Amino acid sequence: MRWNMKLGTEKTGKERQKRKQSLHMVFIRFLLRFCIGTVLLAAGTFAVYAILVNTGAIRLPTDDQTRIEEAADEIRNGGDETELLPDSCRFGVYDSDGHFLYGTFEGREKEEAWERWKTGKTGSFYNYFYRGIEKDDGNLLIVRYQMVAKFANPALRNLFPNAEFLILSIALILFIMQAAVTARSFGRYLKKRLDALTEIAAKAGGEDLNFEREYSDIREVDEVLGALFKMKEALKQSLKEQWESQKRKQEQVAALAHDIKTPLTIIRGNAELIQETEDSVELREWNQEILDNAAEMERYLSMLQEALRVGRQTEEVREKEEFTAELFLEEVRRRAEALGRTKKLKTDCSYPEDKCVLRGKSGMREQLLRAVGNVISNGADYCPEGGTLSIWAEKKCERAEQFLRITVTDSGPGFSPAALRHGTEQFFQADRSRAGSEHYGMGLYIARSILEEYDGKLELDNAEQGGGKVMIYIPCDKRKEGGGK
């Protein structure tokens, strides 16, 4: 079941609102619970220790010292040390010259105990103390004992020499466990309340904006949920308005594409009549260019209408296309010369002798012609009347890749520094140095976009002799004998 932060399935938002609490109060509640647990743990540890002491299972730190003092007089009178001293103590009996006579001391401890007694250093590491008792027979009893709580059971005492340390260690482990449980409980509590935020973020990331207002019993989380809900409503409204605006634009473009066909049909029809009746070879040649460009405009309109109707084709369904560079460049030359005649410009075309093949997706040839045509048209727009538009092509190798590089130069004023940086950006019109015609900042942008789609690129520069210089790079392969179209 999806968690929605409701305190009860029948409770309304107003009822849930009454039980809001701030995050710091939640933290204080868990902290208070932790402190109470710590106090109970300390009290329980003390109670267990007291019970073990009262039942004799644990001896107090002063127990050995007390029993030694109680047995001192009897030992002086010749009592048996082994029976009178606590079993947790070690001892040694020495004569007046310091010779060890008997006892439980071993190794170096025999000499060390005598030296400590003679120098008065009766304290030692780890709460070890030494006590001397002079016996009536002239001998000296030296007893070593510890001021620590010990288990009465010898086996437990050997395993855990310090009972207090064992109990405190267990209490510390329980304290750490309690802290971990409290932290985990606090984390799970917060996570459960923050799950609503994660869920809303996931829905927004998946573009699913059809979710209801969520509530939390933590005031700060509830405020964020409310802000997210308001943001969702604003975003939903914005997307709706954007979609409606896009739809209107598509309808307008579709209507425009349809309406353009009417004057285009009239132009084409009249051009065909002129083609049939006009005897001048030159006029018929110019008229043929009108027909060819009208046909090209019709193809563009058909492509635009198809794109508006079904959207852009997917890569998987598009077929492959292959054509030779020389045929492609010849079409470029023909279009450039036609444009040059219209603009009263000189066109100079130079192409490579090496043959190569251009391969790509279906429609690549028309798209590349469109890109190169935009670059040539851009250069022609900035050429003065009687100026020169130069186009030359050559094969280049960059990073082990073969490119067909088409360079277009014009005799205009050239690119400004700003245009060299931003000239291929959409709607860029800041280049006042190449003024003189109406531009909308789309030609070079469209050319660059088409070339990048086919793994090519577009570069801007200024020619050494002056004027703008645009370099077009198109990936190509060396033509094989009998290959190409």
For residue 87, give the nearest of 109, 110, 71 by alpha carbon.
71
404 sits in the region (left: phi over 0; alpha: psi -120 to 50; else beta) called beta
pLDDT score at 266? 59
Say yes or no to pLDDT of 91 above 90. Answer: yes
Q: How far apart are CA 226 and CA 20, in angstroms?
A: 14
Q: 480 or 64, which is more confident? A: 64
pLDDT of 202 reads 75
**Both tokens of residue 4?**
């929605």
At residue 462, the pLDDT reads 93
H helix and E strand count, the chain: 13, 15
Residue 140 has pLDDT above 90, yes or no: yes
- pLDDT tops 90 at residue 94: yes
* Strands 128-134, 346-350: pairing kind: unpaired
- What percent of the chain has a predicted confidence (pLDDT) above 70? 76
> Of 71-75, 125-129, 360-364, 394-398, which range is least confident?
125-129
Segment 95-119 shows an average pLDDT of: 89
Between 318 and 156, name the one with better pLDDT: 156
Q: How far is CA 286 from CA 8, 272, 335, 338, 389, in A?
A: 83, 12, 12, 8, 20
CA torsion through residues 401, 404, 408, 409, sign? positive
What pLDDT digit, counting tens, does each position of 169-224 carry?
999 999 999 999 999 998 888 888 778 777 777 776 666 667 677 777 777 777 77
233, pLDDT greater than 70:
yes
Given CA atoms 295, 297, 303, 309 in this order, what sign does their dihedral have? negative
Determine the pLDDT at residue 117.
87
> Cβ(470)–Cβ(375) under 8 Å?
yes
pLDDT tens digits for 280-336? 666 666 667 677 777 767 666 666 655 555 544 444 445 678 888 888 999 899 888
More confident residue, 270 or 98: 98
Provide the b/e sequence for 337-362 (b: ≥16 CB within 10 Å). bbbbeebebebebebbeebbbbebee
Question: Counting Cβ atoms within 10 Å, is residue 187 exposed (0-12), middle (13-18) or buried (19+)?
Answer: exposed
Give the three-class secondary structure for 279.
coil
The more confidently predicted of residues 295 and 150 is 150
pLDDT in tens, 38-55: 999 999 999 998 999 899
* CA distances in angstroms from 396 to 185, 327, 356, listed in the order given: 67, 19, 11
Q: How far is CA 248 from CA 241, 242, 442, in A?
A: 10, 10, 22
Tens-place pLDDT, residues 387-431: 899 999 998 888 778 899 999 999 988 888 988 888 888 767 654
Per-residue pLDDT, averaged over 142-146, amounts to 90
pLDDT band at 4 (very low <50, low <70, confident <90, very high): very low
- Residue 483's pLDDT is 46
Q: How confident is the model at residue 485 (pLDDT cuts 50, 70, 90)?
A: very low
What pLDDT score does 315 carry? 43
Over residues 102-116, mean pLDDT:
90
pLDDT at residue number 461: 93
Mean pLDDT of 12-30: 70
- Predicted confidence (pLDDT) at residue 9 exceeds the cutoff of 50: no
Query: Which of the pair, 74 or 428, is modelled with greater confidence?
Result: 74
The encoded tokens of residue 394 equal 């050559």
Give me the sheet containing 320-324, strands edge to edge: 320-324, 356-361, 477-478
Least-confidence region, from 20-24, 42-46, 121-125, 242-246: 121-125
Residue 344: pLDDT band with limits 50, 70, 90: confident
Mean pLDDT over the full length of the chain: 79
Three-class SS of residue 105?
Answer: coil
pLDDT at 2: 39
Q: Does residue 35 carry a pLDDT above 80?
A: yes
Q: What is the pTM of this model?
A: 0.45
